[in-house]
Amino acid sequence: MGLSNANCGMGLYGEGIQQSREALEIFQRLGDTAKQAKCLNFLAWLLYSGEQFDAAEVVASVAINLLSGNGDQYLLCGSHQVLGDIYHSKGEQEKAISHFEVSLGIASSFNWQDELFRIHCSLARFFFDQGRFDDAYAHVEQVKSHAVDNPYYLGYAMELQANFWYKQRQFEEAKSSILGAADAYEKVGVARDAERCREIFQGIQKELNGPDTLGF
């Protein structure tokens, strides 16, 4: 599981998925349902990140079934969230919002700031893709409210908002927000994320300076 987590952090999803499956088999032989659920939850995220949506759906559903009743509520919350993201990616919007709402209800009842941050990020993306921009930006504000004590999260929130503005061709607003995100990432030493934001900024500058802005 440790190797799987490390590979996930490096974007090596194939290796991470294989190691997570091997770990799951060990926990199944041991009869350790708590660790099986934890492994299933993480495997679902890995499969989703690797765009294996059907496999991720099956794994997340198994995790929820295993956790039903007296299971770990934190893992249950995460499993519902990833199912929401999976169904969003598959275009099954009613199922997506249903699982997001369950996840949000669990996280709110325990006041889990990290989970609330992640769920509101997912909901912001969900509503933006639905063209419900007011709802999307309302969730961006919720994202920011759960990021105030975490500089990295604050950077992520600014990047999320910048991407929304960029897609809506609100370039000046996007520039300010993406630079703020880059600064936040640099302050916590996350050079890769800061560099990504600088590249987005360059893309915005090209949009502002290019012929498209003149309607040609």
More confident residue, 209 or 82: 82
- pLDDT, residue 148, reads 85
41: in domain: yes
Q: Is residue 48 part of a domain?
A: yes
**pTM across the whole model:** 0.89
Q: What CATH number is associated with residue 23?
A: 1.25.40.10
Torsion of CA 180, 108, 65, 44, to 10 degrees: 0
Is residue 2 one of the residues assigned to a domain? yes
State the residue for tokens 């992520």. Answer: 156
**Looking at residue 39, what is its pLDDT?**
93
Quote the pLDDT of residue 194. 95
pLDDT at 210: 67
Look at residue 209 in the predicted model and tell me its pLDDT.
84
Number of domains in the chain: 1
Paired tokens of 164: 């929304």
Q: Is residue 132 part of a domain?
A: no
As a whole number of Å, the end-to-end CA separation of the chain is 53
Helix axes 171-187, 151-167, angle to 10 degrees: 160
Q: Is residue 13 part of a domain?
A: yes
Asked if residue 163 is part of any domain, the answer here is no
| Structural domain span for residue 49 | 1-110
Joined tokens for residue 41: 């939850």
DSSP state of 15: H
Residue 125 inside a domain? The answer is: no
Whether 143 and 160 have beta carbons less than 8 Å apart is answered as yes
The answer for residues whose C-beta is within 8 angstroms of residue 50's C-beta and 6 or more apart is: 13, 14, 17
CA torsion sign for 45, 48, 54, 55 is: negative
197: exposed, middle or buried (Cβ count in 10 Å: 0-12, 13-18, 19+):
buried
Tens digits of residue pLDDT in 3-44: 988 888 788 888 999 999 999 999 999 999 889 999 999 999
> Is pLDDT of 211 > 60?
no
Interval 42-81: pLDDT, tens:
999 999 998 999 999 999 999 999 998 777 999 999 999 9
Question: Over the stretch 120-174, which tens digit does the pLDDT of each residue have?
Answer: 999 999 999 999 999 999 999 999 999 988 999 999 999 999 999 999 999 999 9
Q: Both tokens of residue 143?
A: 């994202």
- In this structure, is residue 32 part of a structural domain? yes
Tokens of 192: 């890769």
pLDDT mean across residues, the chain: 92
Q: Tell me the average pLDDT across 80-95.
A: 96
